[in-house]
């Protein structure tokens, strides 16, 4: 493999291990050995373990953003239905993995936000870019009369992302998608509705 | 110090270090040295690092439960106001620590629920015991006419605990209590209301 392909493979394998064990507990040697890359060559691909972690966040954030766009730009259905489809697809995926996965960005936020300012700032930027996507969709929902004209879209967006992160954490702890279902039911039954 | 006092001190110090670094990254020697307890004597107090972690969860869960009870049993104010006072007090504490703390049970759930079934089950039990407390208070709110008679209290309780955990995670990542404020505003403005 060439340098870029090897780097990508290390990111792919690293993502898997970090998703299971967290960032601090992930050893560079474990990543190299699982990727079949010679020990000692890590610093040819990354400046530091932190640099590696930031590259993992960047890749994963991109994949999540594409997934969000795929649903939120689906103009065959109404803006609120797009959000609902996105959340229900996420719930189905978590169910497939018996609720052991959750959101890697949420996991890393929980693990690293208070101890590492570089990670915190990058994760904050990731969540902001997701929130911007949901905010645009909620503005469309407002235009379509699916939520009241006077809705505070930024507050609703904070609420949506926050509640969804909490629900995916609780799904892991309870080993059940029920907390996600409760969130979706109340979100669309009480919060996001015409009046 | 006698054995029990030393054990308690190890738990106290361990709670602090785990809150900052997570469980996996916490070294037994760091806990012993910070507590001024001789190296090598750890296994006199705990069977294993896991046993130690479970003891920390038990102590912290007890403290949180007392705090919840202190607010939710305050019958000088209405049931919903008790819940609101609890959430606002929590928000104020997080603000004091510049949003670096979050909820230790949420942190540990995020870190350990998918990899350690013993921890997952104990954390699940902790969240259940908290949910039972909020459910009782919401039943009182129903009797008092603060929420509709047909409300699904279990679903509302899941929603409340889930959203609050998510909000405290987002507070850490954004370094701001704004996600908690958004959750409280929408919770009491849209979800927990008479009709």
Prediction pTM value = 0.88
Please give the residue of chain B at the shortest CA–CA distance from A122.
B173
Q: Is the pLDDT of residue B21 over 90?
A: no
Q: Is the pLDDT of residue B169 over 90?
A: no
Cβ of A169 and B173 within 8 Å?
Answer: no
Give residue-wise pLDDT tens across range B25-46.
899 999 999 999 998 889 999 9
Least confident of A41-55, A100-114, B62-76: A100-114
Q: Is the pLDDT of residue B102 over 80?
A: no
Q: What is the pLDDT of residue B119?
A: 95
Counting residues of chain A whose pLDDT is more than 70, the rounded percentage is 98
Q: What is the mean pLDDT of residues B169-174?
A: 89
CB–CB of B116/A112 below 8 Å?
no
A139 class by beta-carbon count within 10 Å (0-12 exposed, 13-18 middle, 19+ buried)? middle
Quote the longest CA-to-CA distance of chain B.
Answer: 61
Q: What is the pLDDT of residue A149?
A: 95
pLDDT class of A2 with cuts at 50, 70, 90: confident
Question: Whole-angstrom Cα distance, residue B22 to residue B56?
Answer: 12
Q: Which residues does chain A have within 8 Å of residue B182's beta carbon, measured at their own beta carbons?
A: 155, 158-159, 162
- Per DSSP, the three-state class of A81 is helix
Least confident of B70-74, B112-116, B136-140: B112-116
Q: Which residues does chain B have within 8 Å of residue A110's beta carbon, measured at their own beta carbons?
A: 102, 106-107, 110-111, 169, 172
Taking all residues of chain A, what is their mean pLDDT, rounded to a whole number? 92
**Contacting residues for B57 by C-beta, under 8 A, at least 6 apart:** B105, B108, B119, B122, B123, B126
Q: What is the pLDDT of residue B62?
A: 94
In this predicted complex, what is the ipTM? Answer: 0.85
Please provide residue B98's backbone torsions phi and psi, each rounded to the nearest 5 degrees: 50, 35
Q: Which residues does chain A have within 8 Å of residue B119's beta carbon, measured at their own beta carbons?
A: none
Q: How many Cα atoms sit within 13 Å of A93 on the Cβ side? A: 12
CB–CB of B186/A191 below 8 Å?
yes
B118 contact A CB<8A: no
């Amino acid at each position: 493999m060439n340098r870029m392909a090897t780097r990508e493979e290390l990111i792919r394998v690293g993502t898997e291990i970090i998703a299971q064990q967290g960032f601090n507990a992930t050893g560079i040697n474990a990543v190299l050995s699982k990727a079949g890359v010679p020990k000692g060559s890590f610093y040819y691909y990354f400046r530091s373990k932190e640099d590696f972690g930031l590259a993992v966040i960047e890749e994963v954030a991109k994949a999540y953003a594409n997934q969000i766009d795929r649903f939120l730009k689906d103009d065959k259905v109404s803006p609120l239905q797009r959000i609902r489809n996105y959340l229900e697809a996420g719930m189905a995926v978590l169910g497939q993995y018996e609720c052991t996965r959750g959101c890697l960005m949420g996991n890393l936020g929980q693990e690293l936000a208070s101890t590492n300012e570089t990670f915190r700032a990058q994760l904050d930027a990731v969540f902001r870019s997701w929130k911007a996507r949901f905010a645009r969709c909620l503005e469309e929902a407002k235009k379509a009369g699916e939520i009241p004209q006077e809705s505070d879209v930024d507050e609703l967006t904070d609420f949506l992302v926050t509640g969804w992160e909490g629900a995916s954490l609780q799904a892991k702890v309870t080993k059940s998608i029920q907390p996600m279902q409760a969130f979706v039911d109340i979100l669309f039954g009480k919060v996001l509705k015409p009046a």
